[in-house]
Chain A
């Protein structure tokens, strides 16, 4: 139950994202007679201020958040892990510089840096991915570096060095595989924060541009009609909450299962 329900929600989310194109959705279709129609009157989830179906738009929003989360977590996990483990393994001057860079990035509250970057780069979903990845790699780098610092003292690394393995091989084959448990846990929680961050940027108008749908931009549109059409805010927010809760619950289970202590 504690795994199945969250897993089912996440599967639904992924399926919505992958299959959105095949479902024959019409998120931009305007039906003037259904403007602001609540869920109990028309459609599955009602209609928005332009008469567009909320069900189709929530699914389109699921696609946005899923692909952004996938891209950002993959990019920042790969970049962060490589930078962190190389820095930790090499030590010395390289490591000192990397540590300072990590400290400087950590000195910014994450969402603020993402807002500033997205604002500077200009609106658009590609820039959201860039901004969030530029912020996201730091967590992975710090984690990977700390792990490598202790792992590189292990005997199998000494054995590999004695056998004449190159640094590249030692880092990729002997160190990074051992990091996977904490990194997977970090990545899982990362998905939740990226979903929230993407929606947040879109809420501020810095993410997807109209008419494309994001849960964040749907919530922003809905705040103007709270009095007459609260479903415009409730529907996308609930979709987002379900996904974030599911990810956080699974992350908790995963952490207990893999016995990982973060931070």
Chain B
């Protein structure tokens, strides 16, 4: 177990290092001179030279990478070119908004997907089931940059219940959370359904019925806890997708989080900031995935860590 844990942590470390290197290389993918792109052609030679030195672009690639890694290790994230402020400050302002949005979306996902999936499984092949699965198909097929405007149209423009954008009023969180959580809810409800169906066919469910338990007791005490195991994995894997989806959702609703900061940085060609944002979102994705694996192994003693990544 301990050996497996070490092995897993080691391979995560390799992935993290790879992610950092790839993000570092991003700036070298710019088809032209990055300094030209960032400052524009009209900048003075002195300014350009200053930026080039500041970013270390005048040194060999290996040295640059070393400095980049060293800087990250010391927690130095550098300065934003556009905002002219330390990137750390910008992150401190924006991260709470993204976490708030992601947690709200997650809560919405669970509240919608668990009952829906359970209902579809218990009432298999009825109108309920087909309705739930049609919703699921629709949910994965509607991208959030269209769902967002549709919800704004319905709830803000036509009904006038909720604000169009921003983060000032408490109601402002509702539409972005619905938008962000919808596709996850769609995936998850499908997963809950198939997982519950699988468990319902097991012997111990029949035994539970035979002992005279009510349907309700069988479902809540025996079926659901067992069915939730694979659901946790999917949820964990999708949580990172939620963070990435927040990028577009935040743009749609003008939500002042990490995602809209990323897009603003891309639009203003603030590449040091782009690098930090992409790195941060990706690393939290890696971290969540690793924690999911560990959690899964901890909850279900039948799963040994090494087996889950076969193939």
Cβ-based interface call for A200 (8 A): yes
Cβ-based interface call for A103 (8 A): yes
Which A51-104 residues sit within 8 Å CB-CB of chain B? 100-101, 103-104
- Report whether over half of chain B's contact residues are helix, strand or loop; otherwise say mixed: helix
Cβ-based interface call for A43 (8 A): no
Q: How far is B274's CA from A115's CA once the two chains are assembled, in angstroms?
A: 10
Q: How far is B15's CA from A230's CA once the two chains are assembled, in angstroms?
A: 45
Contact mask B134-154 → A, CB, 8 Å, 1/0?
000110111101100110110
Q: How far is B141's CA from A234's CA once the two chains are assembled, in angstroms?
A: 15
Which A204-233 residues sit within 8 Å CB-CB of chain B? 204-206, 216, 219-220, 222-223, 226-227, 230, 233
Q: How far is B289's CA from A116's CA once the two chains are assembled, in angstroms?
A: 21
Most buried by B among A109, A192, A220: A109
A204 x B248 contact (CB < 8 A): yes
Pick from A146, A199, A206, A248: contact of B266, CB under 8 Å: A206
Give the interface residue-count category, chain A: 35 or more
A100 x B247 contact (CB < 8 A): no
A107 x B274 contact (CB < 8 A): no
Q: How far is B15's CA from A100's CA once the two chains are assembled, in angstroms?
A: 7
Q: How far is B151's CA from A223's CA once the two chains are assembled, in angstroms?
A: 11
Across the interface, name the chain B residue whose C-beta is closest to A245. B141
Across the interface, name the chain A residue whose C-beta is closest to B32. A122
A120 x B26 contact (CB < 8 A): yes
Across the interface, name the chain B residue whose C-beta is closest to A108. B282
Across the interface, name the chain A residue whose C-beta is closest to B243. A109
Contact mask B262-287 → A, CB, 8 Å, 1/0?
11001100010010001001100110
B149 x A219 contact (CB < 8 A): yes
Cβ-based interface call for B69 (8 A): no
Cβ-based interface call for A249 (8 A): yes
Contacts of B281 in A (CB 8 A): 109, 112
Cβ-based interface call for A240 (8 A): yes
Cβ-based interface call for A181 (8 A): no
Cβ-based interface call for B240 (8 A): yes
B245 x A111 contact (CB < 8 A): yes
Known: A222-B149, A248-B141. A109 touches B248 (CB 8 A): no
- Residue total for B at the interface (Cβ-Cβ under 8 A): 48
Q: How far is B26's CA from A97's CA once the two chains are assembled, in angstroms?
A: 20
Number of A-B contacts (CB under 8 A): 126
Cβ-based interface call for A35 (8 A): no
Q: How far is B273's CA from A238's CA once the two chains are assembled, in angstroms?
A: 35
Across the interface, name the chain A residue whose C-beta is closest to B146. A237
Q: How far is B284's CA from A109's CA once the two chains are assembled, in angstroms?
A: 10
Cβ-based interface call for B107 (8 A): no
B248 x A101 contact (CB < 8 A): no
B248 x A200 contact (CB < 8 A): yes
Contacts of A227 in B (CB 8 A): 157
A203 x B248 contact (CB < 8 A): yes
Q: How far is B274's CA from A196's CA once the two chains are assembled, in angstroms?
A: 23
Q: How far is B243's CA from A241's CA once the two chains are assembled, in angstroms?
A: 23
Contacts of A120 in B (CB 8 A): 26-27, 29-30, 271, 274
Interface residues of B (CB under 8 A from A): 11, 14-16, 18-19, 22-23, 26-27, 29-31, 137-138, 140-143, 145-146, 149-150, 152-153, 157, 240-241, 243-245, 247-248, 251-252, 262-263, 266-267, 271, 274, 278, 281-282, 285-286, 289, 311
20 of the cross-chain contacts (CB-CB < 8 Å) are A104-B22, A107-B19, A109-B285, A111-B245, A111-B247, A112-B282, A119-B274, A120-B27, A120-B29, A122-B30, A199-B145, A200-B143, A216-B145, A222-B149, A223-B149, A233-B146, A237-B150, A241-B141, A245-B138, A249-B137
